[in-house]
Amino acid sequence: MNRHALIIGASGVIGSNLATHLLAQGWKVTGVSRGRTPVPAGCTALQLDATDGAAVAAALANIDASHVFFTAWARQQTEKENIRVNGAMVANVLAALGPNGNLRHAALVTGLKHYLGPFDAYGKGSVPVTPFREEQGRQDVENFYYEQEDRLFEAAEEYGFTWSVHRPHTIIGYALGNAMNMGLTLAVYATLCKASGQPFVFPGSSAQWNGISDMTDAGQIARQLAWAADSPAAANQDFNIVNGDVFRWKWLWPRLAAYFGIEAAELPDTISPLAGRMDGAAEQWRAIAQQHGLVEADVSRLASWWHTDADLGRPMEVMTDMGKSRKAGFLDYQDTPEAFFTLFDRLKEERVIPS
């Protein structure tokens, strides 16, 4: 049976890892991106702004995709704009692919803000008890995830394809130029600390430092997306997706520090976000890049201080339950410290950070 994947956001941390995984399984892959970062080798690259309905209709007119994976979103200034822009992205693509009858499955990647609420209403609603479970449903707040889901459900009913929704926690994985990449951000931060002699201070809350947490390796979500694409048990279902282990940051933080040969500082009395401490990072990183011959001298293309601050600054414990996914047949596991160290090793190999 023909398996042709159209990946929206194929150059991002999830999309690029998914593309690599599907290609290894023998899929044909068309990778949609805005063209700022290359898609993985083996993909057919398609440069496209998925929020432009006319452009999407023209570009996808002759694409015979059997599966579409939405792995990217476009951040806007307000949640109302997030809803308008990101909902349109899903609607545009499905309106272009649906009528030809080839589309069998559409997968949408969202995240734990489904349970927590969007950034401008983070944790302000009645946040469910952890671990988050799919049955806990939506918050009573505006959220572009819900808009994307609704556009997905409507199109699936109209055109007769199955769907799945995937909710990762914070992603660990290799990608450059990605707006939400904690693993790369922490690698850059540790490198800056090592070069300057500054302490490696946890930038988050005491609730995150002391509470139980989990994360999602990009390879882990890629495997779940591939499994759900053709699994009858996954049809028309929503799934959490994390690595399968849990940890506390006060345990993991010193281990990340040890990898870089630096010492982890004690948790400060007040929260110390990265965004407020990185005023000189751009100049310092340019010097490090020149000294070590790194491939990217612009720290803004590597580190997303705001996103790491938002994730680690949460005032509550955040973790998820994987029971629904396991009962349906997805049993993969990924060790979280190993995911970090594997990423750091690759960043060194690719000369993104000093070896």
For residue 136, the domain's CATH number is 3.40.50.720
| Residue 353: predicted pLDDT | 98
Q: Do both 202 and 82 map to the same domain?
A: no
Strand-pair partners of 4: 28
Q: Is residue 237 part of a domain?
A: no
Domain boundary among 138, 168, 198: 168
Q: Do both 154 and 187 map to the same domain?
A: no
Strand-pair partners of 212: 248
For 86-102, what is each residue's pLDDT tens digit?
999 999 999 999 999 99
For 40-58, what is each residue's pLDDT tens digit?
999 999 999 999 999 999 9
Q: Looking at 113, 115, 174, 189, which residue is catalytic?
A: 113
Q: Is residue 219 part of a domain?
A: no
Domain boundary among 113, 139, 168: 168
Range of the domain at 304: 178-214+246-317+335-349
Q: Do both 341 and 207 map to the same domain?
A: yes
Give the mean pLDDT of 170-175. Answer: 93
Q: Is residue 226 part of a domain?
A: no
For 210-267, what is each residue's pLDDT tens digit?
999 999 999 999 999 999 999 999 999 999 999 999 999 999 999 999 999 999 999 9
Q: Do both 271 and 141 map to the same domain?
A: no
| Mean predicted lDDT score pLDDT of the chain | 94
Domain boundary among 168, 199, 224: 168
Q: Do both 88 and 209 map to the same domain?
A: no
Residue 128 has pLDDT above 90, yes or no: no
Q: Do both 37 and 185 map to the same domain?
A: no
Q: Do both 91 and 203 map to the same domain?
A: no
Q: Looking at 115, 145, 174, 189, which residue is catalytic?
A: 145
Residue type, 320: T
Indicate the pLDDT class of residue 323, thresholds 50, 70 and 90. very high
Q: Is residue 354 part of a domain?
A: no
pTM: 0.94
| Residue 260: predicted pLDDT | 98
Q: Is residue 56 part of a domain?
A: yes
Q: Do both 103 and 184 map to the same domain?
A: no
The span from the CA of 177 to the CA of 302, in Å, is 6
Total structural domains within the chain:
2
The span from the CA of 277 to the CA of 273, in Å, is 7
Q: Is 113 among the residues known to form the active site?
A: yes
| Residue 119: predicted pLDDT | 66
Q: Do both 8 and 93 map to the same domain?
A: yes
Q: Do both 104 and 39 map to the same domain?
A: yes
For 7-24, what is each residue's pLDDT tens digit?
999 999 999 999 999 999
Q: Do both 137 and 204 map to the same domain?
A: no
Indicate the pLDDT class of residue 154, thresholds 50, 70 and 90. very high
Q: Is 159 among the residues known to form the active site?
A: no
